[in-house]
Amino acid sequence: MDTVGILGGGQLARMLALAAAPLGLRVLVMDTVADACAGQCAPLLVGDYRDEAALAEFAAKAGVATFDFENVPAASAQWLARRIPVYPGPGALAVAQDRLAEKTLFRELGIPVPDFVDVPTREALEAAVARIGTPCILKTRRLGYDGKGQFRIRSTADVGAAWAALGAQAAEVGLILEAFVPFERELSVVAVRGRDGDFRTWPLTENWHVDGVLSASLAPARCEPAIEAQAHAHARALAERLDYTGVFALELFCRDGVLLANELAPRVHNSGHWTIEGAETSQFENHLRAVLGLPLGATRMIGHACMLNWIGAMPDPAPVLREPGGHWHDYGKQARDGRKVGHATLRADTPQALQAALERVGTALERQAQVAPVIERLAG
């Protein structure tokens, strides 16, 4: 029986472990903390990703390695790749870890991006704000997630505050300034590429964020076929250039009918959680199939799906469980402000039925604000 080693033991590793069981696979998770939530569903090796002894133990037990987060040190991924197959490869991981490298690649491939400038120093920030204009966003090049490591610059008066907030990180993780995009919608394309180059995408997903954290996803996104085709073409170009193996997500802003690439997540993605119940093959199963060199499963949708993230604490499950297409995912984490602790997926055969289910659940859980933009989209 093959053992898939996963670096990182959060909810993504947990859902990969759950998808691995029917395929007859064993999973070994490595994380730096003993209470990593994937450890409830798979054996957990606790160790530092930079510790060669821990990596050696991991490599001795795993036949193939993958990731549940993109910030595994590049040197550790390379160390592992010299011993066991690692998917996606360290090269693809290195690009996706660095906002400057990934945006440069988007541009090279002809994928439109918001204007951006590397910001090594305070003087460079002043010049970058002058060039890009306001509003704009200062972001750490590396290690950011869930909107952390970002500062919105509304006018030039904010430059000092932005540097005070992030300047100390310029030397270690780098900074990048991006134009703020007043987008009409945020979309993502979740895609998978097999070891043999077989490439598939799930239907385009529309996403809503609150304070930089994903709040809700709707699939299929309500948008023109040309937009969807463009998103899929961008994803394919990236996958082929990076010789990518596994699942990834490309986050996009849509403005005036044009797609601008935001970032590439080199892993299964929160905006693809709906695929567990809403697609023929989930992103988790297809990621495992890809890294093992197995044939990929069909990515077609089954009806219409909306995923709602639970941030901070889990709500009462009953209103979702009462829905005929309601599905509950509790990650088994301690409640904590801003933390993703679970999600629900509502699936229905028609947009009208999905809208009605969202109205019932939103009211019962007093989450009207969370479901409102999705309902508005479905109604429009």
List binding-site positions for ATP.
Answer: 99, 139, 144-150, 178-181, 186, 209, 262-263
- State the binding string over 248-277 for ligand ATP (x if CB under 6 A, else -): ---x----------xx-x------------
Give me the helix-helix angle, 11-20 and 283-292, nearest 10°: 70
Binding partner of residue 147 among Mg ion, ligand ATP, none, CB cut-off 5 to 8 Å per kind: ligand ATP
Residue 186 interaction partner, one of Mg ion, ligand ATP, none, beta carbon < 5-8 Å per kind? ligand ATP
**Residue 348 beta carbon to ligand ATP: minimum distance, rounded to whole angstroms:** 26
Out of 88, 144, 203, 325, point to the residue binding ligand ATP (CB under 6 A).
144
Instruction: Identify residues 218-257 at the interface with Mg ion (CB under 5 A).
Output: 251
Compute the least distance from the CB of residue 160 to ligand ATP, in Å: 21
45, 28 Cβ separation under 8 angstroms: yes
**Considering beta carbons, is residue 84 or 101 the nearer one to Mg ion?**
101
Which one of ligand ATP, Mg ion, none is in contact with 209 (Cβ closer than 5 to 8 A by kind)?
ligand ATP
The separation between CA 122 and the C-alpha centre of its own chain, rounded to angstroms, equals 30
Residues between 49 and 88 with contacts to ligand ATP, criterion CB under 6 A: none
Number of residues that bind ligand ATP (CB under 6 A): 17
Instruction: List the one residue out of 329, 297, 299, 243 whose CA is nearest residue 41.
Output: 329
Residue closer to Mg ion by CB (options 144, 319) is: 144
145 binds ligand ATP (CB under 6 A): yes
Q: Which of residues 103-142 bind ligand ATP (CB under 6 A)?
A: 114, 137
Query: Could you tell me the smallest distance in angstroms from the CB atom of residue 182 to ligand ATP?
Result: 7
Exactly one of 31, 68, 178, 206 binds ligand ATP (CB under 6 A); which one? Answer: 178
Nearer to ligand ATP, 145 or 293 (CB): 145
Residue 41, both tokens = 């569903």
Contact between 181 and ligand ATP (CB under 6 A)?
A: yes
State the nearest-atom distance from the C-beta of 322 to ligand ATP, in Å.
30
- Residue 279 Cβ vs ligand ATP, minimum distance, rounded to whole Å: 21
At closest approach, how far in Å is the CB of 102 from ligand ATP? Answer: 10
Measured between alpha carbons, how far apart are the two ends of the chain, in Å?
49
Q: Based on CB atoms, which residue is closest to Mg ion, 251 or 323?
A: 251
Residue 178 CB, shortest distance to ligand ATP, in Å, is: 4
What's CA 55's distance to the chain center, in Å? 25
Of the listed pieces 78-86, 149-157, 177-185, 259-267, which binds Mg ion according to CB under 5 A?
A: 259-267
Token pair belonging to 33: 């903390």
* Nearest alpha-carbon partner for 94 in 80, 116, 110, 77: 77
Which of residues 162 and 292 has its CB atom nearest to ligand ATP in the complex? 162
Query: What are the backbone dihedrals phi and psi of residue 10, each rounded to the nearest 5 degrees, phi first?
Result: -85, -160
Name the binder of 146 from ligand ATP, Mg ion, none, CB < 5-8 A by kind: ligand ATP
Residue 146 interacting with ligand ATP (CB under 6 A):
yes
d(CA 160, CA 303): 49
Q: How far is the CB of 139 from ligand ATP (least distance, A)?
A: 6
Of 166, 164, 134, nearest to 147 (Cα)?
166
Residues at the interface with Mg ion (CB under 5 A)? 251, 263
Residues at the interface with ligand ATP (CB under 6 A)? 114, 137, 144-148, 178, 180-181, 186, 209, 212, 251, 262-263, 265
